[in-house]
Amino acid sequence: MTRARTRIDPRAEATREALIEEAETLFAQHGIDGVSLRQIGAAIGSSNTNVVAYHFGGKDELVQAIFRHRLLAIDEERAALLAEAEACGRGHDLAMLLSAMWRPLLEQTNRQGRHSYAAFLDSVFRSNSQSLRTALAPELKATNTIVQRIAAACETEFDERFAARLQICVAMVAAATQLIDQSGHQGERAEARFADMLTMMEAALRAPENKSKGRNTE
């Protein structure tokens, strides 16, 4: 039995990739809820007001496509960094784990050389849309391992409270990369700023949790 070949239209693939890249940049700048599908289509020069719906279906599917576009490569890089940490006996060291977790985001830039993915990720959390990443979670083996080890290094469980702390870490990465972009720092200066962020992040994660439920105002 001869299996039918699936023909890939290069023009359609190019349009999909352009939409993903422009959407990431626009979501990073204006937030998930601050950008319409028509704006994204217009950003790639399409006169078809339904171009995003045609290729993805809707905004949620487009956000998921951005995750798939970035996260599989990021997970591979995290796996390589984790392997390096383990090779030198520091596979459970918090500083090394944080570097393995977040350094790949320093390397993810758009066509303008800006760190749009880090800002996009922060915008996803701010819009409470992180569930859109869930479908990819089983494929992100290195990421899952690193997250669990980060929690263990902080002597805590990976629960809802610790997940909220990691969400703050995402905001720190977005802020640091934005400062790098705004200052035009590259090479050693960008590395130094990112290293400072990792040091502050480690101190923040090691800080005791505030277990109070809030101040009684009655």
Distance CA 162, CA 211 (A): 12
pLDDT at residue 163, rounded to an integer = 92
* Cβ proximity of 21 and 110 under 8 Å: yes
Domain count across the chain: 1
Distance CA 209, CA 151 (A): 13
In a domain, 84, yes or no: yes
In a domain, 185, yes or no: yes
Residue 143 contacts by C-beta under 8 Å, 6 or more apart in sequence?
71, 74, 75, 78, 101
In a domain, 170, yes or no: yes
Determine what percent of the chain falls in helix, strand and coil, rounding each to the nearest 5. Answer: 70, 0, 30
In a domain, 59, yes or no: no
pLDDT at residue 75, rounded to an integer = 98
Residue 139 contacts by C-beta under 8 Å, 6 or more apart in sequence?
72, 75
In a domain, 198, yes or no: yes
Q: 215: which 2 tokens? A: 């101040």
Distance CA 172, CA 111 (A): 23
pLDDT tens for 108-144 read: 999 899 999 999 999 999 999 989 998 899 999 999 9
pLDDT at residue 184, rounded to an integer = 79
Distance CA 73, CA 79 (A): 10
pLDDT tens series, the chain, 218 aa: 444 444 567 888 999 999 999 999 999 999 999 999 999 999 999 999 999 999 999 999 999 999 999 999 999 999 999 999 999 999 999 999 999 999 999 999 998 999 999 999 999 999 999 899 988 999 999 999 999 999 999 999 999 999 999 999 999 999 999 999 998 777 888 899 999 999 999 999 999 887 665 444 33
Residue 135: which domain range? 67-206
The amino acid that residue 77 corresponds to is: E
In a domain, 115, yes or no: yes
Residue 30 contacts by C-beta under 8 Å, 6 or more apart in sequence?
none
In a domain, 214, yes or no: no
